Amino acid sequence: MAPAPAEALAAAFEAAMAQLGPFEPAPLLAVAVSGGADSLATALLAEAWARRRGGQVLGLIVDHGLRAEAAAEAALTHDRLAACGIAAQVLALQDLRHGPGLAERARAARYAALESACAAAGCLHLLTGHHRLDQAETVMIRALGHSGNAGLAGMPALATLGRVRLLRPLLGIAPARLRDLLRDAGLGWVEDPSNGNPAALRARLRGAARGAEADLAAAACRAGSARADLERAVAAELAERASLRPEGFALLSPGRLRPETLAALIQAVGGAEFPPASAPLLALAACPRPGTLAGVRLLPAGRLGPGWLLVREERAVAGPSPARAGLLWDGRFRISGTPPAGLQIGALGAMAARLPATGGLPSVVRRTMPGLWDGKFLVTVPHLLYRAAPISGAEAPSVCVSFEPRRPLAGAPFCPALLPPTG
């Protein structure tokens, strides 16, 4: 006898999660819940999976604040999760405004809020409800954009989102099965009107993708296997040829290398969300030479050894920002601890020449490193173990600044830079 639809769906979810581990004992899973059918079903499946292992689920509901109904829908979704025994939290975004690039800005703000909430809860895993039709639409969009083979693999089932692992266990599941699960549970959901907005390319492609979703998802799966093989080769080359330093730069041994390897290094050192443009990258990887690409300089390593130094371009570094716990400054350096009010994080710039030459780092590296400032007064440079005298007898700030680029490199250690001890 064939298993019931709900049992078959739970088994498919179980199999997908088995490929996305390992997980800690009694795992804590966060689920991004929009209130729609897909994410709500994901929360139910994740809760049953975690409960069987002595764990639990936290539902994270993002209210973008862009529609009058959004707050009420978020509250309704919170109540629906609570009725299912799932703890939930509403994340209200304050700074989004209608205008150009809204979809991209909303996505960036949403994932930033989700990552921060996961970190605050001590959660390592964030699940989303992306399913087979979403994957098919993504493949069609990337094909229309003349994406390369890596792009045609669609969304990966596992990716790194800052401090959490982003998991998509439903990429092989048809959305109708998720709605059937909710109907069987007697659970309603919210319909997002933007899903039918003809101004959005994804909405316009939905009908075509629905007719070929199985074939498109299968093609994405095959391309994904090829992408995984490439990523393993890139990781091996990085381990052999490159070293990433906690001060925010990299060293690369001489000789040509894969373009994808150089792209990963540039993306990490530059703190970028996306890899650099392919045409100049191909030439630079085939014959490394001094140059600048995507906010990163490639220079002879000099006294640091043979090969090449990759360092952030000084004029591309982000400006000063208020220092607060969780901030990812310049897309590269994460602040943790309890920074005092009024403190800012910013590049050393010309001040680097006035500090002790700790660590033998070249000026081009030191000028782009972060310091903590009180106005124009430099309070501390954690990576140089430098700290000025406390102002008016105030205690030194208890903060940690660690190199955590948006695009972490496989297997590379990121060591935190701690303030020197007092006393």
> Can you give the pLDDT at residue 62?
95
225 confidence band (pLDDT: 50, 70, 90): confident
Residue 231 DSSP code: H
Instruction: Return the percentage of the chain with pLDDT > 90, whole number.
Output: 53
> Can you give the pLDDT at residue 9?
94
> Can you give the pLDDT at residue 407?
67
Structure-token pair, residue 196:
């039918």
Residue 331 DSSP code: T
Work out the angle between the directed axes of helices 132-144 and 213-241 (0-180°, nearest 10). Answer: 70
> Can you give the pLDDT at residue 395?
54
Cα gap 307→332, rounded to integer Å? 23
Name the more confident of 72 and 422: 72
Name the more confident of 422 and 260: 260
Average pLDDT of the residues in 348-359:
82
pLDDT in tens, 306-347: 999 999 999 999 999 999 888 899 999 999 888 888 899 999
pLDDT of 419 over the 70 cut? no
> Can you give the pLDDT at residue 184?
92
pLDDT of 396 over the 60 cut? no
Work out the angle between the directed axes of helices 5-18 and 37-51 (0-180°, nearest 10). Answer: 70
Q: Is the pTM of this model over 0.75?
A: no
All structural domains of the chain, each given as residue ranges with its CATH number in brackets, are: 5-223 (3.40.50.620), 243-314 (no CATH), 318-418 (no CATH)
Structure-token pair, residue 343:
């403190």
Residue 239 contacts residue 411 (beta carbons within 8 Å)? yes
Average pLDDT of the residues in 6-17:
92
Cα gap 282→304, rounded to integer Å? 25
Closest CA to 298 of 358, 254, 258, 235: 254
Residue 77 contacts residue 61 (beta carbons within 8 Å)? yes
Name the more confident of 308 and 197: 308
Instruction: Return the percentage of the chain with pLDDT > 70, whole number.
Output: 86
Cα gap 139→54, rounded to integer Å? 37
Average pLDDT of the residues in 167-192:
91
pLDDT of 1 over the 70 cut? no
SS3 (DSSP) at 378: strand
Structure-token pair, residue 407:
């695009």
Cα gap 389→400, rounded to integer Å? 18
pLDDT of 422 over the 90 cut? no
pLDDT in tens, 86-110: 999 999 998 888 888 888 888 888 9
> Can you give the pLDDT at residue 356?
76
> Can you give the pLDDT at residue 423?
27
420 confidence band (pLDDT: 50, 70, 90): very low
Average pLDDT of the residues in 216-239:
83
pLDDT of 392 over the 70 cut? no
